[in-house]
């Protein structure tokens, strides 16, 4: 199946993301966007803004590889065809090794394994990938013009007004989540739907996940799912050897995942 046409994208958005922000919102002005999110903070007992610390959780055991999250992201963020801010990988473990595939980013799901592979498979599972919004983000360190930056709340963002498309950040990211937008010719990536979160909404991919494999919230809110996951201390991060202090936590993550 081919990727969604513009008409199909609009229809999908109306059906699954009713009430969401209009598609195609980008972080054009750095400071006003940061201020907008800061203005949404709750006030604590002293009347001061409550500090927030956002994180993302992916439960691998719940992901069914349906692709709804990839479609929602593509629509919400007007991602060019063939490029993905988030995608899904299928891992198939056999005695001969591990096979990984991600047709069209997993947007349209995955074909059934052929009989021979299915018979040999020791395990198979799906792993969603997205920007980790690292506390020690290599992409920020290498940007020569300061276009990649961190908001006060910890979001790693790209200032499209200043990005020169040099791709240094793309090369520096150990998770392969950055790319040069084929239409805008600037660095692009998952923003955890910063424009939605700033209005009190959840990231688009989270809202459409039918199995709640994706979770997002404030670590400083003891009632949030992400805070409970962090507290349980049974999570993993991708490529811990890079010491990026990833803010994307994985549950039930097999060792073979790269």
Q: Which residue has the tokens 């049974």?
A: 234
Q: 15-26, pLDDT tens digit by residue?
A: 444 433 333 322
Q: 75-105, pLDDT tens digit by residue?
A: 999 999 999 999 999 999 999 999 999 999 9
pLDDT at residue 41 greater than cutoff 60: no
Q: 210-251, pLDDT tens digit by residue?
A: 999 999 999 999 999 999 999 999 999 999 999 999 999 999
Radius of gyration of the chain (CA): 18
Q: How far apart are CA 242 and CA 205, in angstroms?
A: 26
Fold classification of 28-41+51-251 (topology level): Alpha-Beta Plaits (3.30.70)
- pLDDT grade for 6, boundaries at 50, 70 and 90: very low
Q: How far apart are CA 26 and CA 148, in angstroms?
A: 13
pLDDT at residue 202 greater than cutoff 80: yes
- pLDDT grade for 51, boundaries at 50, 70 and 90: low
Tokens matching residue 66: 């349906």
Q: 116-144, pLDDT tens digit by residue?
A: 999 999 999 999 999 999 999 999 999 99
Sign of CA dihedral 202, 206, 207, 211: negative
pLDDT at residue 42 greater than cutoff 50: no
Q: Which residue has the tokens 């990988």?
A: 89
Q: 154-179, pLDDT tens digit by residue?
A: 999 999 999 999 999 999 999 999 99
**pLDDT computed for residue 60 by the predictor:** 98
**pLDDT computed for residue 34 by the predictor:** 38
């Amino acid at each position: 199946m081919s990727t969604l046409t513009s008409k199909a994208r609009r229809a999908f958005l109306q059906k699954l993301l009713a009430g969401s922000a209009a598609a195609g919102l980008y972080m054009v002005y750095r400071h006003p966007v940061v201020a907008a999110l800061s203005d949404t903070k709750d006030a604590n007992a002293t009347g001061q803004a409550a500090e927030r610390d956002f994180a993302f959780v992916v439960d691998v055991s719940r992901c069914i590889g349906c692709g709804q999250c990839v479609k929602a992201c593509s629509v919400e963020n007007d991602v060019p065809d063939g490029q993905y801010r988030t995608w899904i990988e299928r891992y198939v473990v056999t005695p001969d090794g591990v096979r990984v595939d991600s047709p069209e980013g997993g947007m349209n799901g995955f074909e059934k394994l052929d009989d021979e592979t299915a018979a040999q498979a020791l395990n198979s599972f799906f792993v969603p990938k997205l920007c980790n919004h690292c506390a020690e983000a290599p992409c920020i360190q290498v940007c020569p013009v300061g276009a990649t930056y961190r908001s006060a709340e910890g979001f790693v963002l790209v200032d499209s007004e200043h990005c020169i498309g040099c791709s240094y950040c793309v090369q520096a990211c150990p998770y392969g989540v950055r790319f040069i937008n084929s239409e805008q010719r600037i660095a692009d990536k998952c923003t955890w739907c910063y424009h939605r979160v700033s209005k009190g909404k959840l990231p688009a991919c989270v809202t459409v996940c039918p199995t709640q494999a994706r979770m997002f919230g404030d670590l400083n809110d003891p009632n949030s799912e992400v805070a409970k996951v962090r507290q349980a201390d049974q999570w993993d991060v991708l490529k811990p050897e890079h010491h990026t202090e990833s803010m994307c936590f994985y549950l039930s993550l097999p060792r073979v995942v790269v």
